[in-house]
Amino acid sequence: MEKENIGTLINEANNRVLEILLSAEPVWIDVKPAIEAVGGMRKNTILHSGPPIPWEEMCKVQRKGIIGGILHERIADSEEDAVNLVEKGVVDIKSANDLRVVGAGVGIVTASMMVNICRDKRTGREGYCCPFEGRVGLSTWGVYNEDIEKRLKVIETLFGPTLSKVLKECGGIDTKNIIARATQMQDESHTRQVASGLILVSEIMPYLVRANLDKDVLIQCVDILVKTERFFHPLGMASFMATLSGAMNIEYSTIVTTMTGNGVTFGIKVSSLGDEWFTDRAPLLYGKYLAPQWGPEDSIPWLGDSCIVETSGLGGFAAAAAPLLLQLRGGSVKDAIWQTEEMRAICVGTNNNFSIPLLDLMGPPVGIDIRKVLETGITPVLHGGIISREGGQIGAGTARAPLECFIKALYAFGKKYQL
């Protein structure tokens, strides 16, 4: 194909993807067990974050999470049995991302675990993400014990069914509107979603108190909504997945539709290349540790699907919306602006749905073009938690998606379209 011709086709395709990303209308519509909500989920399926990875190569905390998931599902009764079943290939271990599920941290999702369902009203596509069980949980940090089991059960038997009912009664919660308002209130929607969480509580509370709930059920639901740290984060991530799902599989588009890591490998997907993974070694984060005894040697490379936020043009791309985050680790207002402006160099558009006061109401960049990444050598900047080798968060900071993923993707693109 001639070069001029392919350039036009790519630009048209990318404009179409951009249009899908900008016009999406994600809504939180339901909470359901993963097996009922997620296509491809079976009773013995355990999902994890990041690109697919063999059991023996998985990082320790993710393996711990898989074992926890098996125990939670009572597929095995002991850790030893669980490992045996995995090694025999009896457990169906999959990348969450391939099933349109977003797994924060280790990203463990099992059949009976509840997922928040967000749907893009424009395309009908859905994205899924487990509600957080608290600051520490099975789904996020791979921790499984009696207390976590109890909290999972509350979510599965009490919170999930109640919210499912309330969401149906109120017609769903418009997450795009919430994120738009929160972007003006110091949320970049990855490391910080304080305002989104607060807005959500105020939006849902009038419906919750009208829902004829037992007093005790009402109290527990209110406590989970109000007191779960970063409760909104899974709703944002599921919304972004719903949005990006609509942007997948557009012929000729060079726009990134997935970025994620499993603590070992980091992978991206590109619209026109469907569900093919382009992977490299996962990057380490640099940033601020929560206590002086921790340093880079204690941390593991990027783990988690949460950089779906950056893939959607928020998080590190919207640093200018949340200079507070950079300031807490020694940065300045200018650093926040520069970070957003640097990302503009690798994106095809601006998302003015999310206007940023610090940029005099201009939105953040959106639509990462693998061509621009290779032209400039600038790779996407990701905001995230720094995770300990033993599990748990030990800091917060920034990573860069590895350039190699984009090189491999562009090579595959050239091959597919015979360039």
Between residue 352 and residue 381, which ones bind its own copies under the rule CB under 8 A? 357-358, 360-361
Q: Report in angstroms the alpha-carbon separations of 126 from 3, 102, 133, 193, 269.
A: 36, 11, 22, 21, 18
Report the C-alpha gap between 285 and 331 in whole angstroms: 16
All residues at 6 or more sequence positions from 337 whose CB lies less than 8 Å from its CB, including other chains: 319, 320, 323, 358, 359
Nearest residue (CB) to its own copies, 315 versus 380: 315
324 sits near its own copies (criterion: CB under 8 A):
yes
Report the C-alpha gap between 414 and 370 in whole angstroms: 12
* Least spacing, CB of residue 318 vs its own copies, in Å: 14
Nearest residue (CB) to its own copies, 88 versus 227: 227
- Of 219, 274, 295, 376, the residue at the interface with its own copies (CB under 8 A) is 219
77 sits near its own copies (criterion: CB under 8 A):
no
Nearest residue (CB) to its own copies, 229 versus 390: 229
* Least spacing, CB of residue 121 vs its own copies, in Å: 24
Between residue 271 and residue 290, which ones bind its own copies under the rule CB under 8 A? none
222 sits near its own copies (criterion: CB under 8 A):
yes
Report the C-alpha gap between 69 and 138 in whole angstroms: 7
Nearest residue (CB) to its own copies, 40 versus 357: 357
- Of 35, 154, 194, 345, the residue at the interface with its own copies (CB under 8 A) is 194
205 sits near its own copies (criterion: CB under 8 A):
yes
Q: Which region among 1-9, 38-46, 197-205, 390-398 touches its own copies (by CB under 8 A)?
A: 197-205
Q: Which region among 56-64, 182-190, 252-260, 268-276 touches its own copies (by CB under 8 A)?
A: 182-190
- Of 112, 123, 186, 352, the residue at the interface with its own copies (CB under 8 A) is 186
Binding residues for its own copies, total number by CB under 8 A: 33
The structure tokens 């463990």 sit at 108
Nearest to 161 by CA among 153, 173, 170: 153
206 sits near its own copies (criterion: CB under 8 A):
yes
Q: Which region among 36-44, 110-118, 216-224, 292-300 touches its own copies (by CB under 8 A)?
A: 216-224
Contact between 307 and 260 (Cβ < 8 Å): yes
- Tokens describing residue 30: 């339901």
The neighbouring-strand residues paired with 117 are: 30, 128
Nearest residue (CB) to its own copies, 90 versus 226: 226
* Least spacing, CB of residue 31 vs its own copies, in Å: 19
259 sits near its own copies (criterion: CB under 8 A):
no
202 sits near its own copies (criterion: CB under 8 A):
yes
Nearest to 242 by CA among 111, 106, 101: 101
Nearest residue (CB) to its own copies, 72 versus 176: 176
135 sits near its own copies (criterion: CB under 8 A):
no
Nearest residue (CB) to its own copies, 50 versus 131: 131
Angle of helix 160-170 versus helix 194-209 axis, rounded to 10: 80
- Of 77, 80, 147, 223, the residue at the interface with its own copies (CB under 8 A) is 223
* Least spacing, CB of residue 214 vs its own copies, in Å: 11
- Of 201, 284, 378, 412, the residue at the interface with its own copies (CB under 8 A) is 201
Contact between 284 and 74 (Cβ < 8 Å): no
9 sits near its own copies (criterion: CB under 8 A):
no
All residues at 6 or more sequence positions from 175 whose CB lies less than 8 Å from its CB, including other chains: 26, 27, 28, 118, 235, 236, 239
333 sits near its own copies (criterion: CB under 8 A):
yes
90 sits near its own copies (criterion: CB under 8 A):
no
Buried b (16+ CB within 10 A) or exposed e, 358-383: bbeebbbbbbbbbbbbbeeebbbbbb
Contacts with its own copies by CB under 8 A lie at 181, 184-186, 194-195, 197-199, 201-202, 205-206, 209-210, 212, 215, 218-219, 222-223, 226-227, 322-324, 327, 332-333, 357-358, 360-361
